[in-house]
Structure 1
């Protein structure tokens, strides 16, 4: 009896996840993003060295696909692109080259951070190598903790934060096109 109750929920969750892949829908931030706990509305905490404020949006830690510890507090003070992707998603693969190009273009002025989910770390590591997106950090968020923090419900979503950690854009960009245009005004 218990399996009958769990199976429909599991199938629904899987279907919702798969529906997101390939979706080219774009949404700019609105009231939902501004009310999100990741929008930076909470009082800032101090970074480890006490030299700069860390907004709520950047109060998380993770492990890169290469197994290194990562503290998002290191991103404080500059605009940041969070790219939520899954290794089996063709839309995500199409976004890789443009995302890597933007990371290189804005190096030193803004941060780009990949947040992989919905699979195992080995598949995530293979994706980074295959799509050549290793020039910026990519976190292995197998448990989905960072995805939950930013209320991400499907892959291939960008979240762009300004230098103060406020969400200024949440949505998908076909093949990553337009990412540089959204980031440019934030680095000036």
Structure 2
């Protein structure tokens, strides 16, 4: 399978494992850019957890954390029970810069071919609708 340019990056997850975004190729994906102190991010955590459960195997979800310390990021993932999906430690902001993210909580949604289908903020209802469109 050809890996689209949008998924040619790798990183280290918060639990220290290596992660290659190429593993998400071939199905729609959500890149969620969040910060551990962000109240909006906290309010979206449950929706992402529910989407992860509902669309398991049909949709990739990757959290990309920045703007905080690793212990703060770990606490956020633990507090909101988000460990079932991978979260990259992007403390240096490399991926945030690559995708042109200037604020949290922002989404980059990729279709099956890796093309950016949406980039920006979404509330819970909008997020649910976009996921339905992506996976239809």
Pairing of 1:23-38 with structure 2 (within 5 A) = none
**Secondary structure of 2:107's match?**
strand
Query: Which residue number in structure 1 is paired with residue 122 of structure 2?
Result: 173
Aligned counterparts of 1:103 and 1:137: Cα–Cα separation in 2 = 11
**Which of residues 127, 130, 134 in structure 2 aligns to 1:182?**
130
Query: Which residue number in structure 2 is paired with residue 67 of structure 1?
Result: 16
**Secondary structure of 2:11's match?**
strand
1:98–1:177 contact (8 Å) kept in structure 2: no
Q: CA RMSD in A?
A: 1.0
Higher percent of residues as strand? 2
Residue 61 (structure 2) pairs with residue 112 (structure 1): yes
Residue 7 (structure 2) pairs with residue 58 (structure 1): yes
**Secondary structure of 1:148's match?**
helix
**Which of residues 91, 98, 104 in structure 1 aligns to 2:47?**
98
Provide the TM-score with structure 2 as the length reference: 0.96
**Secondary structure of 1:177's match?**
helix
1:102–1:179 contact (8 Å) kept in structure 2: no
Return the offset for 1:132.
1.2
Return the offset for 1:187.
2.0
Return the offset for 1:122.
1.2
Structure 1 unmatched ranges of 5 or more: 1-51
Query: Which residue number in structure 1 is paired with residue 77 of structure 2?
Result: 128
Return the offset for 1:92.
0.5
Q: CA offsets, 1:88-124, max 9 Å, x none? A: 0100000100011111111111101100001111111
Q: CA offsets, 1:65-100, max 9 Å, x none? A: 111110000000000000000000100000100011
Q: Which has the larger radius of gyration?
A: 1
Q: Spell out structure 1 runs of 4+ moving beyond 6 A.
A: none
1:62–1:71 contact (8 Å) kept in structure 2: yes
Q: CA offsets, 1:133-158, max 9 Å, x none? A: 11111111011111111010111001
Count of aligned pairs between the two proteins:
136
Structure 2 unmatched ranges of 5 or more: none
Provide the TM-score with structure 1 as the length reference: 0.70
